[in-house]
Amino acid sequence: MSAEGAADGRRRPRVRTAAGVVEGRTGPGGTAVFLGIPYAAPPVGALRFAAPAPPAAWDGVRDAAAYGPTAPKVPYADPFAALLPDPVIPGDDCLNVNVWTPDPAPGARLPVMVWIHGGAHTRGSSAVPVYDGSAFARDGVVLVSFNFRLGVLGYGLFPDAPANRGLLDQIAALEWVRDNIGAFGGDPGRVTVFGESAGAISTGALLAVPRAAGLFTRAVLQSGAPEVLPRPGVRAMVRRMASLLKVAATAAAFTATALPDLLAAQAAVLRRSGPLVGGPAFGLVTDPDTVPADPLDTLCAQAASAEVPLLLGWTRDEYRLWLAPTGGMRLLDRLGPLAVALARARSGKDRAAVRALRAALPAAGPAELAGQLLTDRLLRDPLRRLAGARRAAPSFLYEFAWPSGVAGLGSCHALELGFVFDTLAVPEAAWLAGPHTPQALADEMHAAWVRFAVTGDPGWAAWNGDGPPKVFGGPELDGAGEPVVTRRALP
């Protein structure tokens, strides 16, 4: 690394990567920030639906002062767009990484954390302001984030293209970390992958797939469990898009289609999907070349990543993000016992489980009970299964329980992100959390993630198959989303 004088008289950090020299900027506290570095070639033209290709090398010094282009995506619907920032940065070179480092010098050998963003495999990017990595660099960790292909471009299933291209992009980004992070002061032998929602689903897959073996040593799954979607359902999504576009359901035909038309068709077929009720979606599928078997089954059978410590958890009221902004909570409450019965059937719970839940949440209405049952099915049950099946390495469970200051959201999905990144001061963090957030809770949670990356132990006992998880924040909410005095452990 060299820090050379810039035209404005300030010294800017430079690092030589395998493809060329990048010039970053000095961040808070003397840290260094490098943004928008290509880790693969732009996925355009013949590469739109191909596996990621190596980036082209460059001569001279590449400026790395601004986030690179975001992957093509459809916007959030209005109720969610007001809660979830999702910037769009135009450009083709969307397969790029960002690095925050406390010491951009070869030989520093600092622990590395690699962030995989969420967004239901169709939205999101590394440029979301809440994901700023400055606090991790401040605390001695090299933080890496990156973009990858989304929606039909990353996960559409075609007869003439590789499956799971978004996951292949993620593997390519991790290979870039392995090959380059030492020049930024990181230790390629101490890499923690962490992700939330679809990013956690991806992290779970990376734990299980052979092509990612050896690329990281620890993993954090926030509000997402390893899963694959049925191949016929994902293929049906492509066929529905093809019908709207009046083209063949092939990668060749979709490559010849203008990108805005592709995204418009994708938005149309996604309108009937949702995390709680299911429906059509894009996501990972089993595939002999990438995900040979269901990743949760693979991990629970002790067939992969036996030596990787895990940090796993959820928010107390995940479902409120999906239901409250659209009026879904009111609808389920009007359905009354039918809503609970339908949720019980979908979650596979028996009546005894519903009685136990009612005892733990005596003030809860039908929507609250249905939401908790479906959260069990999607998150708590599979993550507990994964934690209970661990082999040589420990697993640590947590629950985030601080309620948002935004009415009705409670401890909803994605609320913990500003606490993990210690970015509560970022204006966009208030979109989901409200104006009054406890910095002490961010200090505690962020420190636990750093401690896990450094030592493999976040600071509480490993899960032994029983007992409650570590709880961050409080208090419990009643069925109307209001705090109640006492807190009980959910069954």
Instruction: Report, as residue numbers or ranges, the catalytic residues.
Output: 197, 318, 413
The C-alpha atoms of residue 147 and residue 145 are separated, in whole angstroms, by 7
Strand partners, 144: 99, 114
The C-alpha atoms of residue 177 and residue 353 are separated, in whole angstroms, by 45
CB 402 within 8 A of CB 438: yes
Element (H, E) at 169: helix 165-180
Q: CB-based burial of residue 467 (10 Å sphere; 0-12 exposed, 13-18 middle, 19+ buried)?
A: exposed
The C-alpha atoms of residue 58 and residue 469 are separated, in whole angstroms, by 49
Angle among Cα 147, 148, 150 to the nearest 5 degrees reads 120
- What is the b/e burial string over 213-248, where b = at least 16 CB atoms within 10 angstroms of the residue's CB? eebbbbbbbbbbbbbbbeeebbbebbebbbeebebe
Element (H, E) at 205: helix 198-208
Strand partners, 33: 25, 100
- Residue 190, token pair as written in the block: 């101490």
The C-alpha atoms of residue 229 and residue 167 are separated, in whole angstroms, by 14
Element (H, E) at 397: strand 395-400
Handedness of CA 391, 204, 169, 105 (dihedral sign): negative
Going by the DSSP 8-state scheme, the letter that residue 377 receives in this structure is I
- What is the b/e burial string over 419-432, where b = at least 16 CB atoms within 10 angstroms of the residue's CB? bbbbbbebebbbbb
Sequence-distant (≥ 6) Cβ neighbours of residue 200 within 8 angstroms = 116, 118, 220, 221, 222, 223, 224, 225
CA-to-CA separations, 431 to 88, 159, 320, 406, 426, in angstroms, rounded: 17, 41, 15, 8, 10
Largest interatomic CA distance in the chain: 71
The C-alpha atoms of residue 374 and residue 380 are separated, in whole angstroms, by 9
Please tell me whether residue 201 adopts helix, strand or coil conformation: helix
